[in-house]
Amino acid sequence: MVGLVREGEITAMTKLQQLVDRLEKEHDLTDEEFVSILESGDPDGNAYLTERAAAVREKIYDRDVYIRGLIEYTDHCRNDCRYCGIRRGNKNAERYRLSREQILECCDRGYELGFRTFVLQGGEDPYYTDEDMACIIRAVKERHPDCALTLSVGEREKDTYIKWYEAGADRYLLRHETADREHYESLHPAEMSYGHRIQCLRDLKEIGYQVGCGMMVGSPGQTMGHLVKDLRLIQKLQPEMVGLGPFIPHRDTEYAGCSTGSVELTLKLLSVIRLMLPQVLLPATTALGTADAKGREKGLKAGANVLMPNLSPTDVRGKYLLYDDKICTGEEAAECVRCLSLRVEKAGYRIVVSRGDHPAYTALAMSDF
């Protein structure tokens, strides 16, 4: 009897191992195979997935961790995404905006701390005109020509994206949120469309940005089938970065009573994506660190290679609240970096002072500079 059970276990383990090996070699599986990896509760098989993803990450990025300084410059938003704490309809959100000077100060401070990439993230805030944003982009790049600038400011039209690219923006993060149209519609108000979100991602790629897409794990109504669609979209788009973190409810949204997305599933997805696109930049997100006190370290060990600490001024940090209980809202940027460096070292990795471009862009960036 014991012998039989053991045999069964070995077979299950071997099957999962074989799938992981094939994913590493061929960078692809069938939909059903992806689901069986994501659904597997076999601890040995799961440990093997983590191990292979970490090995691939190490082959390409060694034990280096790239850091991006996140500047949350506005929490005003014209959109009303159902899951988001800074949605237009949330009357309890304390709204703020940073001036160009404040943004530049954040960058200067970040530069001293070793950041060579800045990410401007915010709600879709029409207060900043296209030209205002172009001015900010030019000013940041003038002050710090050796740094990369990433925008994460939502959906715009192609000519705006072109203007900002020409002003010096290098990268753009726009999570697709979910690759299933119906699911997308259930998470967003009627005036937003899946088609436009995807069009934006296509435009950004075509213009020449290094692009990041991504999704929340465990968002209300999400199924395994949706996650497989996400993987297929990622394969098709071939983004330079994929941002994913667990969905975390916000008290002032209709999803207040929903549960937080699974950390385990988020980690598995990080590993699967690492094996699918070996060179991709994968952040261990703040949401992952919020859902689990060791989430970011676990993320690094599962194949992630990027961290995005907060550089926003301390007095506004507690206001940019996309979800409840967000971590690192009280600390100074320097404190944040110190704490994170220690955590990273303890996990066996090291933060590097680098723009941290996707390998396909590194040569290009060097020749530009």
* Binding track over 157-176 against ligand SAH, x by CB under 6 A: -----------------xx-
Residue 298: C-alpha distances to residues 17, 53, 284, 291, 348 (Å): 20, 12, 8, 12, 11
Instruction: Identify any residues that bridge with 152 across adjacent strands, giving them in sequence order.
Output: 121
Which member of 45, 245, 299, 313 binds ligand SAH (CB under 6 A)? 245
What is 187-251 written as a DSSP string? HS-TT--HHHHHHHHHHHHHHT-EEEEEEEET-TT--HHHHHHHHHHHHHH--SEEEEEE----T
Which member of 68, 250, 317, 326 binds ligand SAH (CB under 6 A)? 250
Which member of 16, 71, 192, 216 binds ligand SAH (CB under 6 A)? 216
Q: Does 322 bind ligand SAH (CB under 6 A)?
A: yes
What CA–CA distance (Å, rounded) separates 310 from 333?
6
What CA–CA distance (Å, rounded) separates 108 from 250?
32
What CA–CA distance (Å, rounded) separates 139 from 306?
25
Which member of 73, 128, 164, 323 binds ligand SAH (CB under 6 A)? 323
Minimum CB distance to ligand SAH smaller for 215 or for 347: 215
Minimum CB–partner distance for residue 112 and ligand SAH (Å): 26
Q: Find the binding residues for ligand SAH in span 277-306 (CB under 6 A).
A: 287
Q: Find the binding residues for ligand SAH in span 16-75 (CB under 6 A).
A: none
Q: Does 178 bind ligand SAH (CB under 6 A)?
A: no
Tokens (6 digits) for 253: 């949204």
Cβ atoms of 237 and 206 within 8 Å: the answer is: no
Minimum CB distance to ligand SAH smaller for 287 or for 336: 287
Q: Does 154 bind ligand SAH (CB under 6 A)?
A: yes
Helices (H) and strands (E) in the chain, counts: 15, 9
- Binding residues (CB under 6 A) for ligand SAH: these are 83-84, 121, 123-124, 152-154, 174-175, 177, 216, 245, 247-248, 250, 287, 322-323
